[in-house]
Amino acid sequence: MNIEIDTGNGVPIYLQIVEQIKRNVAMGRLRAEEGLPSVRQLAVDLTINPNTVARAYLELEHEGIIYKRQGQGTFVSAQAEETSRRERQREAAALLEQALAEAFDSGMTREEIGELYRRLIARYGKEQSS
């Protein structure tokens, strides 16, 4: 698992943890039923208040991404990957739409945008399959 806290960007620290754990799940770095570090351990690793980590875990639990097993710790839930992936796809779709709005706004034509899109997707498609 890979989490980095940025105190300069204005996003509450607990949300940064929530988002990055979801990202780790969506990217397969955290698998279903895999254990998460304890609240105390993650607080020490990230040098942040343990209450903040506890808040992030509570939020992830509410969203069904993780669950507590009595006396054993916190684990990634079975449906977490699907939930996280769907959320990431929604975010990606929103970003694509934003980029499209930006492109039209800059004066690009439908043909130019279509041409650019085909070039980009050909390139990414190659990278994905290689």
Is residue 7 involved in binding other proteins (CB under 8 A)? yes
Length of the chain (residues): 130
What is residue 90's three-state secondary structure? helix
How is 51-94 classified by DSSP, letter by letter? HHHHHHHHHHHHTTSEEEETTTEEEE-TTHHHHHHHHHHHHHHH
The CB-of-51 to other proteins minimum distance in angstroms stands at: 6
How far apart CA 41 and CA 102 sit, in angstroms, is 43
Q: Which of 1, 3, 37, 43 binds other proteins (CB under 8 A)?
A: 43
Q: 64 with 86: CB under 8 angstroms?
A: no
How far apart CA 108 and CA 95 sit, in angstroms, is 18
Q: Which stretch binds other proteins (CB under 8 A): 39-47, 57-65, 68-76, 110-118?
A: 39-47
- Compare residues 12 and 114 and give the one whose CB is closer to other proteins: 12
Is residue 4 involved in binding other proteins (CB under 8 A)? no
Is residue 58 involved in binding other proteins (CB under 8 A)? no
Determine the size of the site formed for other proteins (CB under 8 A): 18
- Compare residues 57 and 77 and give the one whose CB is closer to other proteins: 57
Is residue 50 involved in binding other proteins (CB under 8 A)? yes
Using CB under 8 A as the criterion, which residues of the chain lie in contact with other proteins when the complex forms? 5, 7-13, 39-40, 43-44, 47-52
